[in-house]
Amino acid sequence: MLVIAKEPVPGRAKTRLTPPYRPEEAARLAEAALADTLETVARTPARRRVLVLAGRPGPWLPAGFEVVPQCGGGLDDRIAAAFGGCDGPALLIGMDTPQITAGLLAPATGPGAWDGCDAWFGPAADGGFWALGMARPRPELVLGVPMSRQDTGALQRRRLVEAGLSVRDLPVLRDMDSAADAAEIAALTSGRFASVHADLAGAVSR
């Protein structure tokens, strides 16, 4: 399992949450989202757990993870490079969906997940994707896909299908890109993210 993430530093992490949140508050939400995501992955069956990180690890990193630096370039380059370091079935997720659970990931991580399946795809509500898995990682199937657009997910999935891969889908999830997204996600979870969001509830009304 791969988690691609950015160090939760004020002014660099989740900048689209500011405003209404201040940079320090946005970074607290980002750290909580990352911590919840990593804790879920730590409870998920995997041969390797790898954090592909832009920045430095902090106290939010649980035991059992390898940490590798992100490469330069666009998001497609960074995702492709993450898959390039894998030699078997790999599932990549981001840090923006702290509402994930081991049960939600189970179709792509449990026994038989790759029987008759070449790829797993988790569409995001904003048109992107929150999960991408390949039985035999092929970085070239990500390179060149335009990111952060309403059709990113559709284009990425089409790239997999046109390459002849059998694709199975995970549920649609909402990414945390705005204060409204954060509120909706917090209502779906009882983890650290929900607690931090509750603590910062007054920020959106200042």
pLDDT tens digit sequence for 10-24: 999 999 999 999 999
Q: Is the pLDDT of residue 205 over 80?
A: no
Provide the CA 146 distance to its chain's centre, in angstroms. 17
Identify the CA nearest to 62 among candidates 46, 83, 40, 45. Answer: 40
Superfamily of domain covering 2-100+116-144+154-205: Spore Coat Polysaccharide Biosynthesis Protein SpsA; Chain A (3.90.550.10)
- Neighbour order of strands in the sheet with 66-69: 66-69, 50-54, 2-6, 90-93, 129-134, 119-123, 167-169
- What is the reported pLDDT for 203? 58
Identify the CA nearest to 50 among candidates 14, 9, 91, 13. Answer: 91
> Higher pLDDT residue, 202 or 159?
159
- H or E element in which residue 120 lies: strand 119-123
pLDDT band of 201, cuts 50, 70, 90: confident
pLDDT tens digit sequence for 24-50: 999 999 999 999 999 999 999 999 999
- What is the reported pLDDT for 118? 98
Beta pairing partners, 51: 3, 67
Domain residues of the chain, as ranges?
2-100+116-144+154-205
Helix (H, G, I), strand (E, B), or coil: what is residue 91? strand
Identify the CA nearest to 142 among candidates 84, 87, 199, 95. Answer: 84
- What is the reported pLDDT for 182? 96
pTM metric for this prediction:
0.95
- What is the reported pLDDT for 206? 53
Contact between 90 and 83 (Cβ < 8 Å): yes
Q: What is the mean pLDDT of residues 106-111?
A: 96
- How many contiguous H segments (helices) and E segments (strands) does the chain have? 6, 7
Q: What is the mean pLDDT of residues 47-70?
A: 97
Q: What is the mean pLDDT of residues 172-183?
A: 96
What is the pLDDT of the chain when averaged over all its residues? 95
pLDDT tens digit sequence for 66-79: 999 999 999 999 99
